[in-house]
Structure 1
Amino acid sequence: MLVDAHAHLLPHDYPPDAPECFPRMEAVDGETARTLVFGAMRFTARDVFFDAERRIEEMDASGVDVEVLSPMPPLLRYDLPPADGLSLARHVNEFSATLAAADPSRIKALGMVPMQDPDAATAELKAVQDQGLHGVEIASNVLGRSIGHEQFLPFFQEAERLGLAVFVHAMPSPSERLPMAAMGTYTVGVEGAYAAGSMVSGGTAAACPDLRISFSHAAGGFPLMLPRAQYFWGGSWNEEPVDLTRAVMHDDGPSPLELARRFWYDSMVFDRRAIRFLIDLLGADRLLVGSDFPAMLREEPAGRTLRSMDLDPQAWADISGANAFRWLGIDPPG
Structure 2
Amino acid sequence: MRIDFHTHIIPENFPDFEEKFGGGRWPVLKRTCTCGASIMVGGKNFREVTDQVWDPEKRIEDMDREGVDIQVLSPIPVTFSYWASAPQAAEMARIQNDFIVETVAHYPDRFVGLGTVPMQDGPTAVQEMDRCMKDLHLHGIEIGTNVNGKNLDDPSFIEFFEMAEKWEVPIFVHPWETLGRERMPHHNFMYTVGMPSETALAAATLAWSGIMEKFPGLKICFAHGGGSFPYIIPRLDQGWKVWPHLRLTTHPPSYYAKKFYFDSLNYDPLNIKYMIERFGHEKIFMGSDYPFLLREIQPGKVLDESLELTEEQREAMLGGNAAQFLNIEKKKRGIVHAGSTNAGE
Q: TM-score, normalised by structure 1?
A: 0.89
Contact 2:221 2:260 in 1 (8 A): yes
- AA at the equivalent of 2:115: G
CA distance in 2, matches of 1:144, 1:251: 21
| Correspondence for 1:240 | none
Q: Does the alignment pair 1:226 with 2:228?
A: no
Matches within 5 A, 1:234-273: 253-273=250-270
Contact 1:288 1:321 in 2 (8 A): yes
CA distance in 2, matches of 1:306, 1:312: 11
Quote the offset at 1:253 in angstroms. 3.4
| Correspondence for 2:315 | 317
| Correspondence for 2:42 | 39
| Correspondence for 1:284 | 281
Quote the offset at 1:232 in angstroms. 5.0
SS of aligned partner of 2:165: helix
| Correspondence for 2:103 | 99
| Correspondence for 1:8 | 8
| Correspondence for 1:212 | 219
Q: Deviations over 1:207-241 (max 9, x none)?
A: 11111110011221211221233345568xxxxxx
- Size of the alignment, in residue pairs? 323
Quote the offset at 1:101 in angstroms. 1.3
Quote the offset at 1:259 in angstroms. 1.3
CA distance in 2, matches of 1:107, 1:94: 14
Identity of aligned residues (%): 31
Quote the offset at 1:172 in angstroms. 2.6
Matches within 5 A, 1:122-271: 122-129=126-133, 130-173=135-178, 176=181, 178-181=183-186, 182-233=189-240, 253-271=250-268
Moved more, 127-136 or 253-262: 253-262
Q: CA RMSD in A?
A: 2.3
SS of aligned partner of 1:290: coil
Quote the offset at 1:252 in angstroms. 7.3
| Correspondence for 1:19 | 21
**Judging changes above 3 Å, is the alpha-carbon distance between structure 1 residues 204 and 247 closer, same or farther for their aligned structure 2 residues?**
closer
CA distance in 2, matches of 1:157, 1:68: 24
Unpaired segments ≥5 residues, structure 2: 335-345
Contact 2:37 2:48 in 1 (8 A): yes
Higher relative contact order (CA 8 A, sep 6+): 2
SS of aligned partner of 1:121: helix
| Correspondence for 1:239 | none
Quote the offset at 1:2 in angstroms. 1.2
Q: Does the alignment pair 1:78 with 2:82?
A: yes
Moved more, 65-74 or 247-256: 247-256
SS of aligned partner of 2:112: strand
CA distance in 2, matches of 1:200, 1:262: 9
| Correspondence for 1:241 | none
Contact 1:178 1:187 in 2 (8 A): no
**Judging changes above 3 Å, is the alpha-carbon distance between structure 1 residues 40 and 283 closer, same or farther for their aligned structure 2 residues?**
farther
| Correspondence for 2:91 | 87
CA distance in 1, matches of 2:5, 2:98: 20
Contact 2:27 2:78 in 1 (8 A): no
Q: Deviations over 1:64-101 (max 9, x none)?
A: 11111110111122111222111111111111111111
Contact 1:200 1:259 in 2 (8 A): yes
- AA at the equivalent of 2:21: P
Q: Deviations over 1:173-203 (max 9, x none)?
A: 4664642332111111210111001111111
CA distance in 1, matches of 2:258, 2:64: 32
CA distance in 2, matches of 1:252, 1:14: 43
Contact 2:264 2:302 in 1 (8 A): no
Quote the offset at 1:8 in angstroms. 0.4
Moved more, 163-172 or 224-233: 224-233
CA distance in 2, matches of 1:35, 1:228: 41
Contact 2:178 2:190 in 1 (8 A): no
Quote the offset at 1:46 in angstroms. 1.6
CA distance in 2, matches of 1:294, 1:128: 24
| Correspondence for 1:307 | 304
CA distance in 1, matches of 2:315, 2:263: 15
- AA at the equivalent of 1:285: E
Q: TM-score, normalised by structure 2?
A: 0.86
CA distance in 2, matches of 1:322, 1:75: 30
Contact 2:208 2:252 in 1 (8 A): no
